[in-house]
Structure 1
Amino acid sequence: MALTNNYLKGVYETVLKRNPNEPEFQQAVLEVLESFEPVVEQRPELEEKGIIDRIVEPERMVMFRVPWVDDNGKVQVNRGFRVQYNSAIGPYKGGLRFHPSVCASVIKFLGFEQCFKNSLTGLPMGGGKGGSDFDPKGKSDAEIMRFCQSFITELQRHIGQFTDVPAGDIGVGGREIGYMYGQYKRLNNEAVGVLTGKGLSFGGSLARTEATGYGLCYYTKEMLAYKGTSFEGKTVVISGSGNVAIYAAQKATELGAKVVTMSDSAGFIYDPNGINLDVMKDIKEVRRARIKEYADLVPGSTYTAGARPWNTVCDIALPCATQNELDENDAKALIANGCKFVAEGANMPSTPEAVAQFQANGVFFGPAKAANAGGVATSGLEMSQNSLRLSWSFEEVDERLHDIMVNIFKCCVESAEKYGHKDNLVMGANIGGFEKIADAMLAQGIV
Structure 2
Amino acid sequence: MKGWKNPILLVLGIGVSNIGNWIYFVAINLLVLKLTGSAAAIAGLFIIRPLAILFTNTWAGSVIDRVNKRRLMVYIDILRGILIAIIPFFNSIVPIYIIMFLTNIAGAFFGPTSETYITKLVPPEKRKRFNSIFSFATSGAMLVGPSVSGVLIMYGSINTSIYINAVTFFFCALAIFFLPDVDEKLSSEKVRERITMKTIAEDWKAVISFGKTATGFMIIFLMFQFITLISFSLDSQEVTFIQQVIGLSEKNYGLLVSLTGAGYVAGSLAVSALANRLSIRMLLGMGSFLSVTGYLMFYLASPQTIPLAVVGFIIIGFFSPFSFTGYATFFQNNVPVDLMGRFSSSFAFFQAMVQILLTLLLGYIAEVVTLQTVTVAFSAIGLLLAAALMSLIFLQSKKALFILEAENNLTEEG
Q: TM tier, shorter chain?
A: under 0.3
- TM-score (norm: length of structure 1): 0.22
Larger relative contact order (CA 8 Å, sep ≥ 6): 2
Greater helix fraction, Structure 1 or Structure 2: 2
- TM-score (norm: length of structure 2): 0.23
